[in-house]
Structure 1
Amino acid sequence: MTAVQIIDDLVALPGEGRALLNAYMADYAPGARARGMVLERVLVSPPLWMDDQPNTLTIVWNVDGAAGWWGMRLAAGADPGATAFWQAAGDRLVSRARRFAAAPEDVETLCNG
């Protein structure tokens, strides 16, 4: 499999890290799985729930190649649940960013589609 990673970096408001992660896993993750995304890992930084400063949640998903990425992207655009989750999550977020990455050995394959 030529994996494309989808990396969500979510910076939670102080005291909101655990609740944000719980909501993400309950309300966003099932739809992501239905769109073909495979959860690889979840990281919490710093590695304890903070009440007085932000936690950063890094959530890494995989899809199979460019076709998997496009399939996920098109399905997400048609999924009102994804939009609703991000709107609701805004009350718990300082910021969020989504990045896409691949292993160096997979880049040529992805470029040649």
Structure 2
Amino acid sequence: MNPATPVRVLDRVVLPADRAQDWLARWRGDYLPGATARGLRAPQVLREHTGTDSVALQIIWELPGIYDFYGMRAAAAADPAVAAFWSDTDAVALTRERHVMAMQEEPV
């Protein structure tokens, strides 16, 4: 992978429908400021109804390259507030996953 290839991070959190708005408000207030300070940028938040009583929130982030991704990971690991946020999320989420992706480079 070219270190200058932009990286996308997809966080997908499935929550009970009645907890989604509260979680999103907490994400905006407690998680987002630190995430942007760690280099995650341009979050897009998508809402998907996954059932009559559940909602998936999909958050797509950007990082300039793979080195920025690893720097963000190191900063997150050093911040106890990050672990606390995701621990609290796991207490209410039905499922949670993170995918890290980069554009496929075409062979020369």
TM > 0.5 between the two?
yes
Task: Report the structure, 1 or 2, having the larger strand content.
Answer: 2
- TM-score using structure 2 length: 0.85
CA-based RMSD of the aligned residues comes to 2.1
- Residue identity matched to 2:95: S
How far apart are the structure 1 equivalents of 2:9 and 2:48?
Answer: 18
Of 35, 38, 63, the residue aligned with 1:35 is 38
Give the equivalent residue in structure 1 for 2:78.
78
Is there any run of 5+ residues in structure 2 with no aligned partner, and where? Answer: none
Give the number of aligned pairs.
104
Give the equivalent residue in structure 2 for 1:62.
62
- TM-score using structure 1 length: 0.82
How far apart are the structure 2 equivalents of 1:14 and 1:57?
Answer: 10
| Equivalent pair of 2:15/2:54 in contact (CA under 8 Å) | yes
4+ residue runs over 3 A deviation: none
Is there any run of 5+ residues in structure 1 with no aligned partner, and where? Answer: 109-113
User: Percent identity, aligned pairs only?
Assistant: 33
